[in-house]
Amino acid sequence: MESPSSNPTPDILVFGSRADRHAVEEGLVFAPKFDEHGLIPAIATDVASGAVLMVAYMNEESLRETLRRGEAVYYSRSRKTLWHKGGSSGHVQVVREILVDCDQDALVLKVDQKGPGCCHVGYTGCFFRGVPFGADLPETTPDNPLPLHLTEAGKAYDPKAVYG
Binding site for a copy of itself (CB under 8 A): 8-10, 12-17, 25-31, 41, 43, 45, 49-52, 54-55, 66-70, 95, 97-103, 106-108, 119-121, 123, 126-135, 137-142, 144-151
Q: Give least dist CB 41 to a copy of itself, A.
A: 6
Q: Decide whether 80 or 149 has the Cβ nearer to a copy of itself.
A: 149
Of the candidates 57, 52, 85, the one whose C-alpha atom is nearest the C-alpha of residue 151 is 52
The DSSP element (H or E) to which 40 belongs, if any, is strand 40-46
Q: Which is nearer to a copy of itself, 29 or 158 (CB)?
A: 29
Report the C-alpha dihedral over residues 25, 30, 31, 37, rounded to 10 degrees: 110
C-alpha to C-alpha distance for 141 and 77, rounded to whole angstroms: 33
Q: How far is the CB of 136 from a copy of itself (least distance, A)?
A: 9
Find out whether 79 and 120 touch, Cβ atoms under 8 Å.
no
Q: In the bound complex, what is the minimum distance in angstroms from residue 152's beta carbon to a copy of itself? A: 10
114 and 96 Cβ atoms separated by less than 8 Å: no
User: Is 90 or 136 the residue whose CB approaches a copy of itself more closely?
Assistant: 136
